[in-house]
Amino acid sequence: MNIVILSRNAQLYSTERLVEEGVKRGHKVEVIDPLKCDIIIEKEKPTIYFNDRYLDYVDAIIPRIGTSVTFFGCAVVRQFEMMGVFTTVTSDAIIRSRDKLRSFQRLSKAGIGMPKTVFTNYSRDIEKVLSHVGGTPVIIKLLEGTQGLGVVLAETKNAAESVLEAFNGLQARALVQEYIAEAKGADLRALVVDGQVVGAMKRQGKEGEFRSNLHRGGSANIIKLNHDELSVAMNAARALKLPVCGVDMLQSARGPLLLEVNSTPGLEGIEGATGRNIAKSIITYIERNRK
């Protein structure tokens, strides 16, 4: 097969691993920067032009679309879909997952446990907002935040007011979320491929840090998920229609609580922590499902 990885950086670990495993399995794999593609819209003949050639020979794509280029990146993915090319994650699913509020609403409707979350339209009644999530401390998240950026722990009512007033002043929309103290700065990341969990790790934030992201100095170790945690991961992927994704959860006194679903999860941390060949799982998923 001719497989294209849509990535802005061919040297990224995840991109290199996908190329390596694709080539090992006999496929022709190339990395293309989606921002350098021209989308040609024509009656009954949608095409994409890149580096003096038309990409009409592609059998499957693996989108690795960064948050900052969601709009144009997803337009390129959508064009490939119009051309009948198989994609590991659809453009609609990426857009749906990047909208935290929309995805939380869908996940709640699907019956998936989450920390209590409130979203208001720049409300000035901070006390009422805090009461909805059980009072302080609370987590305040920007809707567009990623890799732990735009996530703040407010330990007091005054701190929460200051953060929300600052975000409101910038017209930056934010969610207020219940703080799960028993998680102790740790979370679980499950990697789902084709509806099944193919690897899981427990991430622990560095001392004094409530965020467990590896990009922020956290550590990771392999973990075996229990039945409830497996169910949350697979049901969340199904609810957002993401065949390939990373599902982040907290371990709480009332069971696993979903934090976020990532439509383009990095592979370095989870392959390193688990020793699992996640890249190969993604390539074999394409082989099983490409029509």
pLDDT tens across 66-87, in order? 888 999 999 999 999 999 999 9
Q: Are residues 122 and 82 in the same domain?
A: no
SS3 18: helix
Tell me how many domains the chain contains. 3
Give a yes or no: residue 291 inside a domain: no
Give a yes or no: residue 166 inside a domain: yes
Could you tell me the residue range of the domain that residue 238 belongs to?
Answer: 182-284
Give a yes or no: residue 106 inside a domain: no
Taking the model in full, what pTM does it have?
0.87
Q: Is the per-residue pLDDT at 217 higher than 70?
A: no
Beta bridge partners of 151: 141
Distance CA 49, CA 39 (A): 7
Q: What is residue 79's predicted lDDT score, i.e. its pLDDT?
A: 97
Q: Are residues 25 and 82 in the same domain?
A: yes
Q: Are residues 243 and 273 in the same domain?
A: yes
Could you tell me the CATH number of the domain that includes residue 18? 3.40.50.20
**String of DSSP letters for 196-233:** EEEEEEEEEPPTT-S---GGGT-EEEE----HHHHHHH
Q: Are residues 128 and 192 in the same domain?
A: no
Reported as a single tens digit per residue, the pLDDT across 239-286 is 999 999 999 999 999 999 999 999 999 999 999 999 999 999 999 999
Is the peptide bond between 137 and the residue preceding it cis, with omega within 30 degrees of 0?
yes
Q: Is the per-residue pLDDT at 143 higher than 80?
A: no
Could you tell me the CATH number of the domain that includes residue 174? 3.30.1490.20
Give a yes or no: residue 81 inside a domain: yes
Distance CA 51, CA 53 (A): 6
**Do residues 54 and 37 touch, judged by C-beta distance below 8 A?**
no
Q: Are residues 173 and 217 in the same domain?
A: no
Confidence of residue 208 (pLDDT cuts 50, 70, 90): low
- Range name among 28-32, 34-38, 119-123, 145-149 with the lowest pLDDT average: 145-149
Give a yes or no: residue 29 inside a domain: yes
Percentage of the chain beyond pLDDT 70 is: 92
Backbone conformation region of residue 144, classed left if phi is above 0, alpha if psi is from -120 to 50, else beta: alpha
Q: Are residues 147 and 222 in the same domain?
A: no
Indicate the average pLDDT of the chain: 89
Give a yes or no: residue 199 inside a domain: yes
Q: Are residues 212 and 152 in the same domain?
A: no
Q: What is residue 185's predicted lDDT score, i.e. its pLDDT?
A: 82
Q: Is the per-residue pLDDT at 118 higher than 60?
A: yes
Q: Is the per-residue pLDDT at 35 higher than 60?
A: yes
Q: Is the per-residue pLDDT at 212 higher than 60?
A: no
Q: Are residues 190 and 276 in the same domain?
A: yes
Give whichever of 120-129, 148-157, 251-260, 277-286 has the largest mean pLDDT: 277-286
Could you tell me the CATH number of the domain that includes residue 258? 3.30.470.20
Q: Are residues 278 and 193 in the same domain?
A: yes
Distance CA 84, CA 80 (A): 7
Give a yes or no: residue 104 inside a domain: no
Q: Kind and range of the H or E element at 189?
A: strand 186-193
Given 179, 199, 231, which residue is the final one in a domain?
179
Q: Are residues 191 and 278 in the same domain?
A: yes
DSSP H stretches of helix in 66-149: 70-82, 91-98, 100-109, 126-132
Give a yes or no: residue 94 inside a domain: no
